[in-house]
């Protein structure tokens, strides 16, 4: 069934999915979860141990596409927590809470 503009509901749904896909891949509006290997590697190279990874961090990484929450202990044995951030072509950064 077509509406007054000539689009079917199926065509409209496909169009909406394409828009969401583009926003997900090419903008910071919808962040993606950083892989476990990438996040752990970034944290361990900074001296963190006992790394426990969480889910996507929606805040805390302005301008980076991949984000992951974490808790760990630093080289001195103190607990730390924060977010590991990274982009498609950028190095990873660690932001501590």
CB burial of residue 41 (10 Å; 0-12, 13-18, 19+)? middle
Question: Strands, E, within the chain: which ranges?
Answer: 32-33, 49-53, 66-73, 79-86, 93-96
| Regions in the chain scoring below 50 on pLDDT | none
| 56-81 pLDDT per residue, tens | 888 888 878 899 999 999 989 999 99
pTM of the model: 0.70
């Amino acid at each position: 069934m077509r509406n007054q503009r000539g689009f079917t509901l199926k065509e409209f749904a496909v169009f909406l999915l394409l828009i969401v896909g583009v926003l997900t891949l090419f903008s910071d509006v919808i962040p993606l979860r950083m892989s476990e290997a990438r996040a752990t590697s970034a944290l361990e190279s900074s001296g963190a141990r006992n790394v426990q990874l969480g889910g996507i961090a929606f805040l805390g990484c302005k301008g980076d596409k991949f984000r992951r929450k974490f808790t760990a202990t630093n080289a001195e044995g103190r607990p730390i927590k924060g977010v590991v951030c990274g982009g498609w072509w950028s190095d990873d950064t660690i932001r501590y809470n």
